[in-house]
Amino acid sequence: MAVLPFYLPFFIAFDARFLRALRLVRFLRIVKLARCSDGVGLLSRVLHREKESLVFTFFLIILLMICASCFMWQAENEVQPEKFASIPETMWWAIATVTTVGYGDAVPITPLGNFLGAFIAILGVGMVAMPAGIIVSGFMEESKTRSEGTRSDSMNDVERRIVLLERLVRLRDSGILSEEEYCQQKAELLQAKGHVEGGPTES
């Protein structure tokens, strides 16, 4: 269908330029993205796992932009009323600075404004990098969990319990599990069928 606009004029005498719209059928190639469904699923699991950290990080970035707009408006409004006319208009400068884009259409010229601009730009470098670090950390944790799951399929019962106990310890140390939840799940794991008292899993 995508190549019909080229061949039809040879057989039918009419203006077939409107048939060029059939080239849009090529966009159906996007269906091939279904081959990447495993990757999309991995990304969705990572985002779901880290959603609280990401929401908190974006909240901090927005809070930084609002504070930067307020302080910069106070510092620059009197000398540059056309560029820093109000706090909402100054928000554009804050967004460009915090994201380290820096278009340069609005630049502070007072000493206080220059100091605030430098300070906010340095803060922005760290703040904007935080979501990327959280997502990368989530990917590493997810792939580690998947590799441990694959490895546990080939383990015997005792080895599998050791791996699960190590995972419980990591969840407790990272604060995901409370001490009470950790002890409860550990007791359930050790009391499961096949456990030998005094075996390697107790240590």
Q: Is the pLDDT of residue 37 over 70?
A: no
Number of H helices, E strands in the chain: 7, 0
Domain ranges of the chain: 4-39, 50-143, 155-203
Q: Would the pLDDT of 192 be above 70?
A: no
Helix (H, G, I), strand (E, B) or coil at 73: helix
- The answer to whether residues 64 and 123 touch, using CB atoms and an 8 Å cutoff, is yes
Check if the beta carbon of residue 159 is closer than 8 Å to that of residue 199: no
Q: What average pLDDT does the segment 54-77 reach?
A: 92
Per the model's pLDDT, the better-predicted residue between 38 and 85 turns out to be 85
- The pLDDT tens digits of the residues spanning 87-140 come to 999 999 999 888 888 788 888 999 999 999 999 999 888 888 888 889 888 888
pLDDT confidence tier of residue 168, bands split at 50, 70 and 90: confident
Does the pLDDT value for residue 24 go beyond 90? no
**What's the pLDDT score for residue 197?**
41
Token pair, residue 176, equals 């995901």
- CA torsion sign for 78, 83, 89, 92 is negative
DSSP-derived letter for residue 32 is G
Decide: 124 and 98 in contact? Cβ < 8 Å: yes
Three-state DSSP string of 118-160: HHHHHHHHHHHHHHHHHHHHHHHHHHHHHHHHHHHHCCCHHHH
pTM of the model: 0.54
**81 or 161, which is more confident:** 81
The tens digit of pLDDT for each residue in 62-72 reads: 999 999 999 99
CATH 1.10.287.70 correct for 50-143: yes
